[in-house]
Amino acid sequence: MPYGAVRAVDSEGGALVIELTDGEELRPTAFGASVVDHFVRSSERAAREVRSRLRELPEGEDTGEVCTEFRRDWASEAAAVVALVLGVIALLMGI
């Protein structure tokens, strides 16, 4: 999503919240207030990084097109399939 389409960003309760210029709020699942995030504070770091980039935008930056749908990550898909296959094999072997 283009930075010009972002109005504000926050990390409330450990979850990243991105407010768009059209008023829509996005809460990326990768920054969803997990137990790990409680210790490493990745949502807060992501919010700081986005805020710093927003300050660097030239005046009148084009918002471009915002796409808020899921994208495939083939490496993750392959890892999930391998884990599933190995799980089935372990079940069949009685492990």
pLDDT digits (tens, 9 = 90+) for 44-88: 888 888 888 777 766 655 556 666 667 778 888 899 999 999 999
Percent of the chain past pLDDT 90, that is, above it, reads 17
Percentage of the chain modeled with pLDDT above 70: 79
Is residue 16 within 8 Å of residue 27, measured between CB atoms? yes
Q: Cα–Cα–Cα angle for 35, 67, 65, nearest 5°?
A: 135
pTM greater than 0.85 (yes/no): no
